[in-house]
Copies of this chain bind each other. A is one copy, B any other.
Amino acid sequence: MVYKDLNTSPRILLGPGPSMVHPRVLRAMAHPLVGHLDPQFVYLMNEVQDLLRYVFQTKNEITFPLSGTGSAGMDAVVGNFVEPGDPVLVCVNGYFGERLCDMTKRYGGELTRIDKKWGEAFSPDEIRKALLKKNVKVVMIVMAETSTGVLQPLDKIAEIVHEFGALLLVDCVTSLGGVPVSVDSNGIDIAYSGTQKCISCPPGLSPITINDRARQVIHNRKTKNPSWYLDISLIECYWGNERTYHHTAPISMNYALRESLRLIQEEGLDLRFIRHKENAEFFWHCLSEIGLEPFVEEKYRLPSLTTVKVPVGVNGDEVTKKLLNEYNIEIAGGLGELKGKVWRVGLMGYSSSKENIVLLTGALSRILQNT
């Protein structure tokens, strides 16, 4: 069999991830490798950690990318903080909250869940009520639900969680680098993310950050983490000052992550948040011009990912196929219970630009007129 030269189409990536990757990041990927224990790579690891602290808005010493995708980060933090029998509260208002429940049960956690309709957010009071009923070790919540497009406000949540002596674990996969995560000022104890959303680095790494209080909890585990690969107590000795060999870090992916983070630093975090917000508002305005409407009420609407209602009588999948095949634009359909009901449009990182918005709504409008 003949395997031809790599020759994929020049897609415009406006789905729920991966987002577009800046040419400078692509060039960094093509940079020749040094070894993973080379002093030059060790220096680069420090830079990556510093830059991640900037983006997470934290001083946490444990702040580094795990060598797997965002889902690896999710699995890692659940596995490191949930020992068999540990009581856990998961707030579920979408697909990724469900997944946190699945993971919690796999690690033997004693799960309590509170549920909210897909498309809605939790109030601090709802979390307080759940904690009054049942004391837990960890409260898990998704900040930016990629399945629904909801931005969960974090105000007062850490305060309540800490009042009950629990740890706050936050999924920042679709928020980090696009909306303020503010790990320290929000009182987040544990956070994880992916690189392929608002960071605009290719998928393959999962930035995490853990504060000292949570770190102690890992150090005081009664049992060993079943997964050696995702055991943060081992990985922290590789990324920390000890530099103890654990696994071979993905060199090229770390080159790419460093360059993506450098681009964020050059833009400035605050200006980047403003860009994401203004472009999202512009997109919502353009949607209304062509008779379309977001699924989530504006108050809880996520700037980095918008769920758009599929109009009655329109086959959503056919539209996404036409966008891809006729215009080279990728958006996605709904996930789980929103399948067929919404489109998911990501305006994340390098993808978040006025030109992409005008192009997408122009193409969408033409396709809908001909359906």
Q: Footprint of B on A, CB under 8 Å? A: 1, 3, 6, 8-11, 13, 15, 17-18, 20-21, 26-38, 40-41, 44, 47, 50-51, 67-72, 74-76, 79, 99, 102-103, 105-108, 194, 196, 202-204, 224-230, 245-253, 255-256, 258-259, 261-262, 265, 324, 330, 332, 335
The answer to whether A21 and B32 touch (CB under 8 A), given A38-B11, A67-B72, A227-B75, is yes
The answer to whether A247 and B71 touch (CB under 8 A), given A6-B255, A226-B226, A252-B256, is yes
* Closest residue on chain B to residue A331 by CB atoms: B35
The answer to whether A202 and B33 touch (CB under 8 A), given A47-B3, A247-B70, is yes
Q: Which of A13, A33, A38, A225 has the most CB of B within 10 A?
A: A33
How far does the alpha carbon of A331 sit from the alpha carbon of B321 in the complex, in Å?
50
How far does the alpha carbon of A11 sit from the alpha carbon of B36 in the complex, in Å?
12
- Contact (Cβ within 8 A) B32 A29: no
Report B-chain residues with C-beta under 8 Å of the C-beta of A204: 67, 204, 250, 252-253
From B38, B224, B330, give the contact of A38 (CB < 8 A).
B330
- Contact (Cβ within 8 A) A203 B51: no
How far does the alpha carbon of A75 sit from the alpha carbon of B13 in the complex, in Å?
33
From B203, B228, B245, B262, give the contact of A251 (CB < 8 A).
B203
How far does the alpha carbon of A15 sit from the alpha carbon of B262 in the complex, in Å?
30
How far does the alpha carbon of A253 sit from the alpha carbon of B68 in the complex, in Å?
11
From B3, B72, B335, give the contact of A51 (CB < 8 A).
B3
Report B-chain residues with C-beta under 8 Å of the C-beta of A203: 36, 248-251
Chain B min CB distance to A204 (Å):
3
From B47, B108, B251, give the contact of A18 (CB < 8 A).
B251
- Contact (Cβ within 8 A) B227 A226: yes
- Contact (Cβ within 8 A) B79 A247: no
- Contact (Cβ within 8 A) B228 A103: yes
How far does the alpha carbon of A335 sit from the alpha carbon of B105 in the complex, in Å?
37
- Contact (Cβ within 8 A) B11 A246: no
